[in-house]
Amino acid sequence: MIEEKSESKSDFVAYLSVKNHEKINHELILPKIKEFFKVRNISDYKSIVEQACISDLDFKNTNFSDFFPHFYDYIIDKIYKDKEKNIETVVTYCITLDKTNCSKTCDKTGINYDDFFLYQKPVFYFIHIDIQDIFAFLKAEPA
């Protein structure tokens, strides 16, 4: 059954819902995310809030002046200066089930992703989690 997520900013993002998501998140998804950022030497990262998730189509089908407040509020909202007065930001990421959002493959982790930079610093990543991996994880769980 497909449900509507009316609080979602994007008209193009598909969500997966399961009865018990904690085990999937902690044993399958978060370890992949941690390893992905570890190989990039990024320690300050966070997931974008669910209703703020976006897809590649949002960038193509939205007037950027309408979309920028969303981009700022959820993606580059934590800009700050470090001790040396360098501009820093917390890197945000969005899990996507749509591999077409991810044009790159990490050579160390094999994870498909895409990235967005601001002044040559990464600020946002789409990170693909294969739905087949989730199904395999669910099927391996004891009933």
pLDDT at 105 (0 to 100): 97
pLDDT of residue 55: 58
pLDDT tens digits, 25-55: 888 999 999 999 999 999 989 888 655 556 5
pLDDT score of 11: 52
Query: Which are the contacts of 80, defined by CB distance < 8 A and separation ≥ 6?
Result: 87, 88, 89
Stated pTM of the model: 0.74
pLDDT at position 88:
77
Name residues of the chain where pLDDT drops below 70: 1-20, 49-77, 141-143
So what's the pLDDT on residue 1? 42
Nearby residues of 88 by Cβ (< 8 Å), 6 or more positions away: 44, 79, 80, 81, 82, 121
